[in-house]
Amino acid sequence: MELENQGGFEKNLFNDDPEKRGPESKRPDDINFKLKIQQARDFMIAKALSEGLGKDEIMRIHSLADNEIAAMIDQLKEK
């Protein structure tokens, strides 16, 4: 199955400019934002691996980060 035939998603995956994504792009900007967050998370995991951290340490860091993000979201919702 080719992703390019499904609205040009693969071709335009990392294009930040909505104008350059073209009319065939069906994904909203919030999906692009989520992709950037995932890329940042993947980069940090790769960095941790390159620093010699093991899977258990990375999972612990990942869990702590998720908890911090959830707490920040709750705090911002209260404002």
The per-residue pLDDT for range 19-49, each reduced to its tens digit, is 665 555 555 677 777 888 888 888 888 888 8
Mean pLDDT over residues 37-63, rounded?
Answer: 88
Distance of CA 38 to the CA centre of its chain: 2
The C-alpha atoms of residue 67 and residue 29 are separated, in whole angstroms, by 25
Residue 11 pLDDT: 46
The predicted pLDDT at position 52 comes to 93
* CA atoms of 31 and 53, how far apart (whole Å): 30
Tell me which of 32 and 6 has the higher pLDDT. Answer: 32
Q: What is the mean pLDDT of residues 8-20?
A: 52
Residue 2 has pLDDT above 60, yes or no: no
C-alpha angle 14-66-69 in degrees, rounded to nearest 5: 85
The number of angstroms, rounded, from the C-alpha of 23 to the middle of its chain's C-alpha atoms is 23
